[in-house]
Structure 1
């Protein structure tokens, strides 16, 4: 009898049931089994995993468990209820679906459990539930039975969101690593402190580095083991809902980093889940990531594609998330990504494009937008792949936005040159306009720029301390005026000194000092103005919303341009990346009228030198040129009165 020798003959005949057999407490119907096989089950979390069952009077009956493990010889449920004994509760396989299930009476919320899975080779491995919605606190790895009782209060927000047109709205994102924003805070404590701070700083959205459960803290959440569970480090799933709800109540949207590109090799998690390469490719040329030491999903398998799309929909549905930023898209799109010749397998057409990953991304974006109008799907994609934000019906990937890594790289590289040499690199600060409307872009100054020896933003720039902070303020004024949505990593808004460390909190004590207070106040006021000035966002995705005024004055380190709204109202932005002020600078304006400074990052209130302008009258309709004062290392915005 081989692997089943421990069972009686009667036991073994009941290990497999026809698909039509469903126990009265099963979470699976015939339609569920069909949709799972087809890879089309958009609410997979309601079919698989652990589900508490109650009677009509809400009394606990027990918990139903189900798991997809098609190549397993046997599966047992182990946990607190049976002292982790795999010989106690043998799960039943439903026909040829590859799904195993069991119902355990009288156990419910808080029960810890795993699936003991016997692979083809007869080896038993204890795995966490691939569909678990709650987990133990790492480094413990068991799944936990969860049943939400949270009552949302954001119906007005969700209703309003359905009409949200993100591409022509202000979007200013504060990127946050929950564990190190302030050390030791729970989800519910963050719902007070983080919410108050983000509201005061004027950001429209927060973006959380992955909250999906992960065993290794220094991965920052990017090595995910539970794609349906918020990390238990800061509280329960309902506590995380409380945080999202509080952000919505404050008028702040929530974006999550979502990681479908890869997963870690931990034996207790997804790796060789049923004794075979189930979620990953068996061929290491397709199934292993050489840089990160992780496994790559088999995007071409229906059930795996369904697992990932359902994960995306889960966060949007159950946690009311307003957008997903998809990590490492470039690594998904190219079969030869970070591989040498002979280390990758071409697609069926002989090319390097991962056609199965393209299909997965298209399905994820199109389904997300179809089911949740008004959300944002954002790609972290660092190559020149065409059509990242083009509609899927036109062959695009269907994202709403793409991170503009080229802008980030060029501008930071430009600012790291000594100002006297910037004249030779002027194209680095202007080149982005040549492709600014090839995609819908978001401008990121993210966590990636302040780790791994790169230092903090403020310390990338040459000069003394005043010049460094002045350059940072000038950069923010330039960035918020430049076409594209905005993203800034925590700590950068007050010019943190030390490189970000996930195990240490931000240097909040610095905000007691003038130069840091000045940058912090500058960012808050830039955000406030940004939201009030449609010229900066209504035509973000159209070249009609931008006009160069000064694009070739590299000798003075000056750039100037106009932004336009739907009504033809302009805003003028001038940036001087030189430490020398320019008095009586001849600046072309787009129209006649009286122009007033609405932002000057050299303001004394921000720690600047205080070189400002009185209202500027532009009366000559032929030349439209006026003399202005441009402070050192500063950005000015002019609005027509």
Structure 2
């Protein structure tokens, strides 16, 4: 009988051999077959073949047993007895073929496996009467890899994985286990150290602070076919889009995915938002990071329930006509020892050069976007959320930090690209690939860049050299407009450009106008507390600002709590101040936001040509007044809406405007209406132009009007 060298048997016995299947399991031995199994401390070991034949094994060395069979043993169990313990019988993991094929391995090496989550990670497999879990992990620098967890009492020596050659992938099928089994990978590094890591491709994780991965299998049946079909027709550029951004853990604390479904559907539907945007829901160890320090890119956080319960939440939102956007964080990842950092003992997911591989400000690592497998990991992750969770968009965090090699670095702390420039060419190619692939596979979705610089072509098509995003956050508009609104109305007249400058570049990209979580933390207070004046004036400023924002070219995003004028700064550690709705004035603000959304959705000129400069024009008063701002929006069917703003603290009566159309204009929204808590100044019979198109309009104090042309 041919037998492996003693050194190999010792390595197999220690669970430290890179090719355990070459030793264990069934092997041809001349005209016969040999079966080997690792069973240290056993008294007897027997292989029981599928036809009932018993092959007695004898101990060879280091816990490895072997015996001869006359015919090829296709299916068999290993039965072991131990002193003072019951007989232990289990199907032999080492008799099974790899669960990844050559095509899979080729695509992984090339960085082109668009459904990577279906081959790497842990997957329940069913083979006739046999079921178990296949494990696969990419760890090209490892000397050996073991599965450790509930399946073996956290003794990884029992389940050493096999290396699948130059792919860097390690694989093992373990029969007899299933959903709910917790596990990690033990990795033997090049310097001889064993380290324990969570699965980068895990689709479920333990509830933090526990850090193990968990085997899962979806049993969810979707009921959103109608939504998905409608989504795929047309583009969001030409549809209404107002987004309610929320942090699930603090919106109403204590709600899980399933419990949140009823309340979110009812609340967001009543408020009239078209979309919800969740702060990151991928697994993260520290709640105070709000999800932006991701350790489990493929695992919805277990804080709020199971992956199928998240599917239920999204499905319910879709059935109610509400889209779902999720924050996605491919720009950096934390240094937690149990996760991606130095995954197989050396830089793997992160760039090995600290000038490109570390964010010093954030204490995190930066992905190596130039490495095929790393780029594949991220591209497939974006597709995973669209495919497996039916999300309608990804808001990509911190894009500027990815685009610039000198981002937050001093002179000498960064290395130029091959052309001598500051752009991260590998990151640019990654963003182009993920955007192009996502839009090709999932028509009607939105890829949204949080990009805070003037980098050109963020939303230009990749075919034209752009990054290929669908939308870009308009951070310039956000900064300028908040500075303007924070000024006392007495002094705003000298700063009208802070509101109108955005019109100069409003059509250079496809923009989202964000008032996000970042604007209500870190000492900034809330949107309400940024407004000047007494309580009534603050509320009036809020309504005027939001009406101007919703009328401005671009889509809208508002962070939770601002819709009812929360006064305190947001904290992830507590819920919103819902008690403020006991105050009628704040109820009226909430009612105004609902009216704002519903009116916006009904008025196509406000959204159907957001990226078309030909559909926008300024509307000027005959007598210049720097507190007055006016503009017109048009749709493709001849409809026109005029937005007239008065940011002074007093009303303006009989203001003459050169309207873009002759005829009657009807007031469809007045931020100063009494039902919203305003003073009631307005144009209740509408306004009529003369033959030259001049109309006399009453403008409320700290108020905004939307006027629709009636012909």
Tell me the SS of whatever aligns to 1:585.
strand
Q: Contact 1:119–1:274 (CA<8 Å) still a contact in 2?
A: yes
TM-score, normalised by the number of residues in structure 2: 0.87
Question: What is the distance in 1 between the residues matched to 2:463 and 2:489?
Answer: 47
Query: CA 1:93–1:419 in structure 2 vs 1: closer, same or farther (change >3 Å)?
Result: same
For 1:626, the equivalent position in structure 2 comes to 695
1:375 to 430, 433, 445: 445
Deviation for aligned residue 1:554: 7.5
Q: After TM superposition, list the pairs within 5 Å mapping 1:323-472 onto structure 2.
A: 323-472=393-542
Deviation for aligned residue 1:472: 0.4
1:575 to 642, 645, 648: 645
Query: CA 1:310–1:9 in structure 2 vs 1: closer, same or farther (change >3 Å)?
Result: closer
Query: CA 1:344–1:17 in structure 2 vs 1: closer, same or farther (change >3 Å)?
Result: farther
2:131 to 61, 78, 91: 61
Deviation for aligned residue 1:640: 2.2
Q: Deviations over 1:176-235 (max 9, x none)?
A: 100000000010111100111000000000000000000000100000001101000000
Q: Contact 1:27–1:46 (CA<8 Å) still a contact in 2?
A: no
Question: What is the distance in 1 between the residues matched to 2:8 and 2:700?
Answer: 79
Query: CA 1:207–1:105 in structure 2 vs 1: closer, same or farther (change >3 Å)?
Result: same
Tell me the SS of whatever aligns to 2:482.
helix
Deviation for aligned residue 1:295: 0.3
Tell me the SS of whatever aligns to 2:633.
strand
Q: Contact 1:17–1:93 (CA<8 Å) still a contact in 2?
A: no
Question: What is the distance in 2 between the residues matched to 1:219 and 1:238?
Answer: 24
Say whether residues 1:7 and 2:12 are aligned partners: yes
Deviation for aligned residue 1:588: 2.0
Q: Contact 1:556–1:576 (CA<8 Å) still a contact in 2?
A: no
Question: What is the distance in 2 between the residues matched to 1:354 and 1:295?
Answer: 15
For 1:636, the equivalent position in structure 2 comes to 705
Q: Contact 1:285–1:344 (CA<8 Å) still a contact in 2?
A: yes
Unaligned 5+ segments in structure 1 are none
Query: CA 1:465–1:211 in structure 2 vs 1: closer, same or farther (change >3 Å)?
Result: same
For 1:513, the equivalent position in structure 2 comes to 583
Deviation for aligned residue 1:157: 0.9
For 1:522, the equivalent position in structure 2 comes to 592
Q: Contact 1:16–1:94 (CA<8 Å) still a contact in 2?
A: no
For 1:268, the equivalent position in structure 2 comes to 338
Question: What is the distance in 2 between the residues matched to 1:108 and 1:411?
Answer: 54
Q: After TM superposition, list the pairs within 5 Å mapping 1:490-501 onto structure 2.
A: 490-501=560-571
2:163 to 82, 93, 100: 93
Say whether residues 1:300 and 2:300 are aligned partners: no
TM-score, normalised by the number of residues in structure 1: 0.97
Q: Contact 1:261–1:296 (CA<8 Å) still a contact in 2?
A: yes
1:483 to 553, 566, 572: 553
Q: After TM superposition, list the pairs within 5 Å mapping 1:16-415 onto structure 2.
A: 24=96, 26-56=98-128, 61-415=131-485
Query: CA 1:13–1:205 in structure 2 vs 1: closer, same or farther (change >3 Å)?
Result: closer
Unaligned 5+ segments in structure 2 are 1-5, 28-93
Question: What is the distance in 2 between the residues matched to 1:136 and 1:60?
Answer: 26
Question: What is the distance in 2 between the residues matched to 1:121 and 1:76?
Answer: 17
For 2:601, the equivalent position in structure 1 comes to 531
Larger Rg: 1 or 2?
A: 2
Question: What is the distance in 2 between the residues matched to 1:341 and 1:533?
Answer: 51
Tell me the SS of whatever aligns to 1:613.
coil
Tell me the SS of whatever aligns to 2:333.
coil
Question: What is the distance in 2 between the residues matched to 1:94 and 1:572?
Answer: 65
Deviates more, 1:296-305 or 1:579-588: 579-588
Question: What is the distance in 2 between the residues matched to 1:306 and 1:437?
Answer: 33
Structural RMSD (CA)? 1.9
More contact order relative to length (CA 8 Å, sep ≥ 6): 1
Deviation for aligned residue 1:27: 3.2
Deviation for aligned residue 1:89: 1.1
Deviation for aligned residue 1:550: 2.5
Q: Contact 1:552–1:559 (CA<8 Å) still a contact in 2?
A: no
Q: Contact 2:242–2:555 (CA<8 Å) still a contact in 1?
A: yes
Question: What is the distance in 1 between the residues matched to 2:17 and 2:588?
Answer: 73
Question: What is the distance in 1 between the residues matched to 2:378 and 2:250?
Answer: 28
Query: CA 1:133–1:418 in structure 2 vs 1: closer, same or farther (change >3 Å)?
Result: same
- Residues paired across the two proteins, number: 636
Question: What is the distance in 1 between the residues matched to 2:377 and 2:324?
Answer: 22
Tell me the SS of whatever aligns to 1:572.
strand
Deviates more, 1:568-577 or 1:394-403: 568-577
For 2:635, the equivalent position in structure 1 comes to 565
Question: What is the distance in 2 between the residues matched to 1:503 and 1:160?
Answer: 38
Query: CA 1:553–1:175 in structure 2 vs 1: closer, same or farther (change >3 Å)?
Result: farther
